Each structure stands twice: as structure tokens, then as C-alpha cells.
Amino acid sequence: MKFAMSKRLVVIALSAVSMLAVADAAYGQVRVGGWSLRANGQVAKDFQYTGPCPVDLKFGWGLISPHPTTAAYSFQRSDGGHTSNQRETFMPQASKSVPIYYDWHLGANTPRFANFTGWVELRIESPNADTKRVNFTLHCQ
């Protein structure tokens, strides 16, 4: 009797683990695998740019998910600019990240932008909440 009862508990426990694995597959998670900044087409080393302005900044993040998933995200900027929520379905391949980008044209030849420090933030709303900020420095010449 005792053996039969413990056998049932093992079966129930294994069933619960299987249901959790299926739930995880249905509700994928995303994480940010890395981020970058390009300024006028060149990699901005240490997230700093020194050169002619205005400058085209391209911020990039790599999203990673163990399963195909749809993510809702938006971008926020240090100057108060932001985007509305965007939705995109990601089809990951062998744990490789899927790139997403945000472009910002910045830095007219004015004293305000001669030396500017700012940031752009990726805000993931779903399937899980996460936030990653890229801080940068701009030195217009």
C-alpha cells in the first residue's frame, strides 16, 4: 500500500513537471543578449562619438528567446522622446539573438550638442518585463 501511494505521488510530480515545461514553451521568455551603438555607420567605441554633427545614431539590441515568441516593446530617450508599443514575432535559431534597432538623428551644430550625454532605453513589456539602457556621449566637432 505504501509503495503504491509513493508511486502515485511520483506520477503526479512528473505530470506537474511536464505541464510546467509545456507552459514554458507556450509562454516564452525573452532576454537581451547584448547592445551596441553605431554613429554615422561606424561602431561607437565605449558608446562615445567624437566627430562632425549632426550624427545618425543607430542603437541595437539582441533579443534571445528559447522559443518562437511575440514580444511587445518600446523605446524611451533621455530627451523625453519615445515610441509607442511595437509587437514583433521572433523566430530564434540555436540561441542566436534577433536584432532590433532604434535610430536617432541628433546633434545640430549648436552649443547644446557640442558635448551631450544621453541614453536610449529598450523597454520590453511582454512576454516578460525587462529594461536595458544604452548610455552614450556625443562630442561634436
Residue 84 lies in a domain: yes
Give the distance from CA 49 to its chain's centroid: 22
Residue 21 lies in a domain: no
Statement: residue 56 has pLDDT above 90? yes
Give the residue numbers spanning the domain of 114: 29-140
Residue 17 lies in a domain: no
Q: Give the integer Cα–Cα distance in Å for 141 and 137.
A: 13
Res 73: pLDDT? 94
Res 92: pLDDT? 65
Residue 120 lies in a domain: yes
Instruction: Assign residue 80 the CATH number of its domain.
Output: 2.70.50.60
Identify the CA nearest to 82 among candidates 137, 125, 37.
125
What is the tally of structural domains in the chain? 1
* H or E stretch at 8: helix 2-26
Residue 49 lies in a domain: yes
Residue pLDDT, tens place only, 71-126: 999 999 998 888 888 998 877 666 678 899 999 988 766 677 778 899 999 999 99
Residue 14 lies in a domain: no
Residue 103 lies in a domain: yes
Q: What pTM does this model have?
A: 0.75
DSSP character string of 79-120: TS-B---EEEEE---TT--EEEEEEEEE--SSHHHHEEEEEE
How big is the chain by its Cα radius of gyration, in Å? 22
Q: Give the integer Cα–Cα distance in Å for 59 and 77.
A: 11
